[in-house]
Amino acid sequence: MNPQLLMFVGLGGAIGAMGRFVVMSAVGHVTHSGFPWSTVTVNVLGAFVLGAVLELSALAWSPSPEIRAMVVVGVLGAFTTFSTFSMDLYYLLDRGAIVNAVLYATGSVIVCLVAFWAGMSLLRMILS
């Protein structure tokens, strides 16, 4: 294990975790429903940014392994939150909110896939 690479991932993780906290707090402050809009927001934003970053690095940018790991694994890995997604889904099911649970699970996956594709497509269009 490369200690320098690990340091970059850790730095990115700190940035991503703080970003997730800020975004989830802001969204939670605006939406006061039982639906986990904060988690949806960070996962969709993260998917979009990941798609854009991967397309950017494929077409026009060759980041060092440290920078790539910092952004993809560190920042985006800490910013998005599948573990919180799982927890939110569990609590929706536990409360008997079956329709919301199904909408949340399928909607999150579909919208994140679309956001990932949109991020890639946008960067492809800009850089082509």
Domain ranges of the chain: 3-30+37-127
Amino acid code (one letter) for 42: V
Backbone angles phi, psi at 68, to 5 degrees: -60, -45
80-119: pLDDT as tens digits:
988 889 989 999 999 999 999 999 999 999 999 999 999 9
Distance, CA of 20 to CA of 6 (rounded, Å): 21
Confidence (pLDDT) at 18: 98
28-59: pLDDT as tens digits:
999 988 899 999 999 999 999 999 999 999 99
Backbone angles phi, psi at 32, to 5 degrees: -115, 50
Confidence (pLDDT) at 128: 86
Q: What percent of the chain stands above pLDDT 70?
A: 100
Confidence (pLDDT) at 83: 82
Question: From its phi and psi, is residue 96 left (phi > 0), alpha (psi between -120 and 50) or beta?
Answer: left
Query: What's this model's pTM, rounded to 2 decimal places?
Result: 0.82
Cα angle 116-118-120, degrees, rounded to a multiple of 5: 70
Res. 76: pLDDT tops 90: yes
